[in-house]
Amino acid sequence: MTSTARSTKSPTVAEVEALLARPLLELVFDAAKVHREHHDPARVQCSQLLSIKTGGCAEDCGYWSQSAHFDTPVKREPLMQVDAVLAAARAAKANGADRFCMGAAWREVKDGPDFDRVLAMVREVKSLGLETCVTLGMLKDEQATKLRDAGLDYYNHNLDTGKSHYGEIVHTRTLDDRLATLDSVRAAGIHVCSGGILGMGESQHARAELLHQLASLEPQPESVPINALVPIEGTPLANQTPLDWTEIVRAVAAARILMPRAVVRLSAGRTEMHEAAQALCFLAGANSIFVGDELLTTPNPKPATDAALFAKLGLLPVENSRAGSGVVTVENPRAGNGVATVENPTSGSGAVAVENRRPESLRGHGGHSHEHTGACRHG
């Protein structure tokens, strides 16, 4: 059994389910208040994601286009060279990304030349002044330490879905396996990026289980990607009924209330969301997106599309300010004095202390106060 720490202050699964069932606009309103207590609502963190090794993954996740178990349109490609990754990272930075995420279709990290090459990628991307994130599957304590020493800021490892539905989606690794990887990441002092995927046939109860599991981690994840399933031809979920957009808004709002200090990423599936639905997600607390034309092997809104939406909503990308004291002053056109001071958890040693304060807005509504890509790959 994994030793991942749990918070004793988190609400129960039933209370999270009740939170998700609240009238949508009331839920969004309360989530927006929590968001403004902890974040600059005008700023959105922008990450770019690159598949550094594509296809042939040994995992059988039912949504996973890169699984070797399924006949999908994805072609296998070997691990990229460091120079090619560095060129992509430079382009991402020039296009406004402040975090560069690298995903390899591996079940687990294996020591050797390939892992050494990934460590070199992390070092070189970090030298550009970008935040770094990888998703490489399961890993051990000593491998997490090597990634930290190379300069890794975030490790993405999604829980995917709630405990009661997990066995319907994945058979090649357990939920406890995933939690053990998060243990190793946290022990190494690397920021945790972990979320899930909606629309895989799960019940509302299973969604509540997922959010409860994430919110109960101690400390809570610094980054929480909320993905909507992008059905891929050849996978077991290829014909899954599309999720109603309101369910994504609900999940974002609940994640914001349950994990007030986390960065909540509106991740895979945005191409199927109209602008008004995305706007509600930003209002409800989403403050991160992926930029670029593609998320590993699934489509993403074009950069010009995102720029136009940001302009309509008055949103601005977060500036990369990892150096310094850990406090960043950014312009906030919505604030009275024109500026807002926000914490920058990515400064310093790479470790961060998360305060698990539960906002008042959860009280009285059935709760205590308190990539499918993830930050990278979703497999």
Q: Which of 26-30, 100-104, 164-168, 325-329 has the highest mean pLDDT?
A: 26-30
289 touches 44 (CB < 8 A): yes
Q: What residues pair up with 135 in beta bridges, in sequence order?
A: 103
* Mean pLDDT across the chain: 79
pLDDT at 374 over 60: no
Q: pTM score, two decimals?
A: 0.78
Q: For residues 338, 343, 344 and 345, what is the CA-based torsion angle, rounded to 10 degrees?
A: -160
> Residue 82: what pLDDT?
96
User: What would the pLDDT profile of 83-113 be if each residue is shown by its tens digit?
Assistant: 999 999 999 898 888 899 999 888 888 999 9
Closest of 295, 304, 306 to residue 267, by C-alpha: 295
User: What would the pLDDT profile of 21-54 be if each residue is shown by its tens digit?
Assistant: 999 999 999 999 999 999 999 999 988 889 998 8
283/183 Cα distance (integer angstroms): 32
User: What would the pLDDT profile of 243-296 be if each residue is shown by its tens digit?
Assistant: 899 999 999 999 999 999 999 999 887 878 899 999 999 999 999 988 765 545
> Residue 58: what pLDDT?
60
205/48 Cα distance (integer angstroms): 32
Q: Compute the average pLDDT of residues 220-242.
A: 86
pLDDT at 353 over 90: no
> Residue 356: what pLDDT?
34
User: What would the pLDDT profile of 112-126 be if each residue is shown by its tens digit?
Assistant: 999 999 999 999 999
User: What would the pLDDT profile of 127-149 be if each residue is shown by its tens digit?
Assistant: 999 999 999 998 999 999 999 99
Domains of the chain: 13-362 (3.20.20.70)
Sequence-separated (6 or more) residues with CB below 8 Å from residue 311: none
DSSP 2-65: ----B-SSSPPHHHHHHHHTS-HHHHHHHHHHHHHHHS-TTEEEEEEEEEEEBS-BS---TT-T
Sequence-separated (6 or more) residues with CB below 8 Å from residue 195: 158, 159, 214, 221, 223, 224, 225, 226, 227, 255, 265, 267, 374
Quote the percentage of the chain above a pLDDT of 90: 50
361/257 Cα distance (integer angstroms): 7
Residue 302: pLDDT band with limits 50, 70, 90: low
pLDDT at 352 over 90: no
324/172 Cα distance (integer angstroms): 43
> Residue 54: what pLDDT?
83
> Residue 173: what pLDDT?
81
> Residue 237: what pLDDT?
72
Which residue in the block uniquely carries the two structure tokens 């995903």? 103
Q: Tell me which of 10 and 352 has the higher pLDDT.
A: 10
Q: Compute the average pLDDT of residues 327-334.
A: 32
Q: Tell me which of 112 and 352 has the higher pLDDT.
A: 112
CA distances (Å), 156 to each of 24, 82, 208, in order? Answer: 29, 20, 21
Residue 78: pLDDT band with limits 50, 70, 90: confident
Angle between helices 113-127 and 82-94 (to 10 degrees): 30
pLDDT at 357 over 70: no
pLDDT at 241 over 90: no
Q: Name the pairing type of β-strands 327-331 and 339-343.
A: antiparallel
Q: Name the pairing type of β-strands 191-193 and 196-198.
A: unpaired
Which residue in the block uniquely carries the two structure tokens 């489509």? 299
* Element of type H or E holding 282: helix 275-284
- Grouping H, G, I as helix, E, B as strand and the rest as coil, residue 299 is strand
